[in-house]
Amino acid sequence: MQLLASLLQAVKPSPTLVITKIAADMRRRGLDVVSLSQGEPDFSTPDHINAAAKLAIDNGMTRYTDVDGTPELKDAITRKFWRDNGLSYEPSEISVGTGGKQVIFNALLATINPGDEVIIPAPYWVSYPDMVRLAGGTPVEVLCGESQGFKITAAQLHEAITPRTKWVILNSPSNPTGAGYDKAELEKLGKVLLDHPHVYVMTDDMYEHIRYDGWPFTTIASVVPALRDRTLTVNGVSKAYAMTGWRIGFAGGPREIISAMGTIQSQSTSNPSSVSQAAALAALEGPMDFLTPRNEAFRERRDMCLDVFNAIEGLNCRRPEGAFYLFPSCEGLIGRKAPDGTVMGSDVDVSRFFLEHAHVATVPGSAFGGPGHFRISFATSNERLAEACKRIRAACSQLN
Ligand code: PLP
């Protein structure tokens, strides 16, 4: 009898593992590796949020709560959706989980039957396809290259929909590309979806508040109200409020799906941490002015890296609307030779080269379904970023 579940065989080994392992070995050998692979802000959780958590502990809010969120937090989330997105939800249409990740996984587990298809525009956040596979479904990746702004077009969506399509997943601004859909683009996608009433939309708006140059964020259920009843709008506090470790994510959507997500959560993790829920409530109800200087710092770092990368022969990078990632193309480096004679055959080789020769850790694009690219996170200090850029430039100049 085999030990491990057959379902696990569906999960692809991550192409990042080899890079992570080499980086760890290098650090153990005392080498100074600049890591640009981490997907979290380098800022701290704002003080008023920490204070609310401490108060929650002192007030004894340390027990089980309702499985999918306290009534107070759900109320705050309905106010958030109304205030920021013009979306009106009842508390019974809200689910709170242990991070956006659990919320998305719950939704897929709650809805996917064997053979159901989920359309995933690529490049995508690494977890979507494997979550779909673990839920017994089939991910349908649609390649959306840089020439189309890394965004799925209405024609591509139309083409990808079959009678087995259960969901299409949108993520704007995107991890890994930072690309954001504008209102007109969402309207066009909405038009296609209105012709296919069996398809549900999951929109992952995790990076809603991290955006640049006045780019106006919008989300599909508010742009196309007719889709509201088959849209799951996922969001959370991890990125905007620098609360990655607190593990609170949430979603608004159809009551039937929300209720089923609660059933799954009730038999897996139960409620997300009571203290974290109190902190998330303070985040959603509190001041947001701390975001302006943080986004300004992110924008400066984005622009510094863009200037450096776009000046390197063989690299080319689109300017992202939001999130804190760059996804440069390294197609122009493929086929070039490193000083040790290694020929760059793929984005994995390029990331490996940056690691071994520049001591900079990046993530190869193939991890995100976007081969020929690599991802950096610019959520790290200006000094470390400048150092990383300098090292990458020097390493690229050694390729011939
Ligand atoms: N969605 C996207 C696009 C992300 O990048 C991440 C985290 O990296 C998540 C969801 C998960 O967020 P959380 O940390 O709240 O689980």
- What's the CA gap between 367 and 124, in Å, rounded? 9
Protein residues with CB under 6 Å of any ligand 1 atom: 39, 99-101, 125, 171, 175, 204, 206, 236, 238, 244, 249
- By the 8 A CB rule, do 284 and 119 touch? no
pTM for the model stands at: 0.96
Q: Which residue, by CA, sits nearest to atom 5 of ligand 1?
A: 175
Query: Scanning the structure block, which residue is given the tokens 């829920």?
Result: 277
In the predicted model, residues of the chain with pLDDT beneath 50 are: none
pLDDT score recorded for residue 70: 98
CATH architecture of residue range(s) 6-44+290-397: Alpha-Beta Complex (3.90)
- pLDDT score at 331: 97
Residue to mutate, 40, 205, 239, ligand 1, most ligand atoms under 8 Å from C-beta: 239
pLDDT of residue 7: 85
User: In the chain, where are the structural domains located?
Assistant: 6-44+290-397, 63-285
- The rounded distance, in Å, linking the Cα atoms of 175 and 304 is 19
CB 20 within 8 A of CB 351: no
Residue 194's pLDDT is what?
98
Which of 125, 205, 244 best tests ligand 1's pocket when mutated (most atoms within 8 Å of CB)? 125
Fold of 63-285: Aspartate Aminotransferase; domain 2 (3.40.640)
Cβ-contact 347, 373 below 8 angstroms: yes
pLDDT at 19: 78
CA-proximal residue: ligand 1, atom 3 (nearest): 175
Question: Which residues lie below 8 Å from residue 311, measured CB to CB, with a gap of 6+?
Answer: 393
Q: pLDDT digit string (tens) for 348-372?
A: 999 999 999 999 999 999 999 999 9
Residue 15: what pLDDT?
Answer: 65
